[in-house]
Amino acid sequence: MQPILEMRDITKTFPGVKALTNVNLTVMPAEIHAVVGENGAGKSTLMKVLSGVYPDGTFTGKIMFEGKEQKFSTIGDSEDVGIIIIHQELALVPLLSIAENIFLGHETAKAGVINWYEAFARTKELLAKVGLKESPDTLITNIGTGKQQLVEIAKALNKKVKLLILDEPTSSLNEKDSDALLELLMGFRSQGISSILISHKLNEVTKVADRITVIRDGSTIDTMDCSDGTVDEDRIIRAMVGRELSDRYPPRHAKIGDPILEVKDWSVYHTHHAERHTIKGVNLTVKAGEVVGIAGLMGAGRTEFAMSLFGRSWGQKITGSVKLHGKDVDVSTIPRAVDAGLAYVTEDRKTYGLVLIDHIKHNITLANLEDVSKKGVIDDIRELQVANGYRRDLAIRSSSVFQKTGNLSGGNQQKVVLSKWLFSGPDVLILDEPTRGIDVGAKYEIYGIINKLAEAGKGVIVISSEMPELLGMSDRIYVMNEGRFVAEMPVAEASQEAIMRAIMRS
């Protein structure tokens, strides 16, 4: 049988990073093909190549669809041949109706005048196909995430889909909605529609997939056929995390002392959905000189936990106690949290970390202007010395401290954010994905900085989706899933398999 899709030797490089190296992916007609891999392994990049987000010419390799070579230069091109991608973040307009969303950009119109009767009738047909019993004029904002997924799929069906790509479709769904969605995919399979399913949930993958392709570090590791009975979760996990830990992590010499930070019964509700219990009674301890890792999948609640702890910058109805050096402290606002000795280095440095239009010097002193000023008047010389000091110590590669942070590379931007928080003189630093989007060399430097902090007796919490990094950097690892700490292990007892198992079996 001829494959419906063949991607051959796909290589895609970003400035400084090779995201995909000779990746091969073959999808048969009427097949559910799962693509699994760790965060950052290259799954999303591969799908962006396939759907024309990265136009032909920006990567090397061939895409064959239904036996013909395809050169997509826009998403529209890939949609025209029947490849439809449904992203993790749904692309629906909340305040428009289901019908309006389904026909957005493809309105049933003559000379610009919309024929609503036709739109409604066709929406009803499509909704019936995906098993959604909602009126076409219901607003998107009034239906849950699960149903919104179905609307997205109905939208795809309207575009005569032949290959449906779902990126983490069940990550924000409850079990019942997930099952319904997976059954729908199986229904499509029997109608001859192929799907590519990207998922972290291996139980789902093994349940519905015909074949599974594992991607790791931008390369295809293995394509497994589920029909031969040799595929189980352990085999997939081994393939996903298979690399060995080498000396990609600098040596560590910190002495671990008394507890600095103790968080008890930390409970948080979602910022926008007051009924959603996001963090459910988390307990955490960090000792002086200790690096504590928090592992978990996307959406486990790690960032939400960290931000709620840091001056309640996320969530509502927050309860629980925080002790620093054995004393209860008030961390109810960001200034109070900073005063108490906390610092939080955000996972999204461009949105939450830096003033990109301003230069390095101003960014470094922003969280602690008090120390470079007297009675509200900034001491320019002192500020410059501080900035130059961090630029030298952290090796921020730049023309001077007057370079705009927006023009720096990811690694150097991260060093500026780190400098800012080091200058605030914290006792405990929370680093959220500190090496995301940073090349290997800069990663090593960031690890060195983390170790120095620990050696100076500070407590460090590292949140990371890269498990090797957590294993290489931490003394102790908490595993988080669905708002709870489901396991705690000293690094000596931790392994990628153990972490994955703790997540899967929680």
Query: Which residues would be at the binding site for another protein (CB under 8 A)?
Result: 310-311, 313, 333-335, 337-338, 344, 346, 351-358, 362, 366-367, 369-370, 373, 376-378, 380-381, 384-385, 400, 402, 420, 424
Answer yes or no: are the C-beta atoms of 261 and 323 closer than 8 Å.
yes
Nearer residue to another protein within complex by CB, 118 or 427 = 427
CA 242 to chain centre: 21
Q: Give the number of other Cβ atoms within 10 Å of residue 359's Cβ.
A: 20
Structure tokens at 299: 């959406």
The SS3 assignment for 85 reads strand
β-strand partners of 195:
32, 164
Output the smallest distance, CB 300 to another protein, in A. Answer: 21
Answer yes or no: are the C-beta atoms of 21 and 11 closer than 8 Å.
yes
Nearer residue to another protein within complex by CB, 110 or 375 = 375
What gap in Å lies between CA 80 and CA 66, rounded to an integer? 13
Task: Report phi then psi at 481, rounded to 5.
Answer: -150, 135
Nearer residue to another protein within complex by CB, 362 or 476 = 362
Nearer residue to another protein within complex by CB, 101 or 346 = 346
What gap in Å lies between CA 246 and CA 416, rounded to an integer? 28
Answer yes or no: are the C-beta atoms of 319 and 267 closer than 8 Å.
yes
Q: Give the number of other Cβ atoms within 10 Å of residue 93's Cβ.
A: 12
Output the smallest distance, CB 303 to another protein, in A. Answer: 12
Nearer residue to another protein within complex by CB, 111 or 357 = 357
Q: E strands, 87-136, where?
A: 109-110, 113-114
What gap in Å lies between CA 213 and CA 215, rounded to an integer? 7
Q: Give the number of other Cβ atoms within 10 Å of residue 336's Cβ.
A: 14
What gap in Å lies between CA 166 and CA 149, rounded to an integer? 10
DSSP annotation of 297: -
Residue 164 makes CB contacts below 8 A (sequence gap 6+) with 84, 86, 153, 156, 185, 188, 193, 194, 195, 196
Output the smallest distance, CB 25 to another protein, in A. Answer: 37
Output the smallest distance, CB 401 to another protein, in A. Answer: 8
Output the smallest distance, CB 358 to another protein, in A. Answer: 5
Output the smallest distance, CB 279 to another protein, in A. Answer: 19
Structure tokens at 389: 């000091």
Nearer residue to another protein within complex by CB, 229 or 376 = 376
Structure tokens at 179: 């099952």
What gap in Å lies between CA 263 and CA 412, rounded to an integer? 32
Nearer residue to another protein within complex by CB, 278 or 413 = 413
Output the smallest distance, CB 403 to another protein, in A. Answer: 11
Residue 438 makes CB contacts below 8 A (sequence gap 6+) with 410, 411, 414, 446
Output the smallest distance, CB 326 to another protein, in A. Answer: 24
End-to-end CA distance of the chain: 40
Output the smallest distance, CB 366 to another protein, in A. Answer: 5
What gap in Å lies between CA 223 and CA 240, rounded to an integer? 12
- CA-based angle 36:38:43, to the nearest 5? 55
Nearer residue to another protein within complex by CB, 296 or 426 = 426
DSSP annotation of 248: -
Nearer residue to another protein within complex by CB, 287 or 361 = 361
Nearer residue to another protein within complex by CB, 405 or 474 = 405
Output the smallest distance, CB 422 to another protein, in A. Answer: 13
Output the smallest distance, CB 419 to another protein, in A. Answer: 12
Nearer residue to another protein within complex by CB, 357 or 492 = 357
Nearer residue to another protein within complex by CB, 52 or 353 = 353
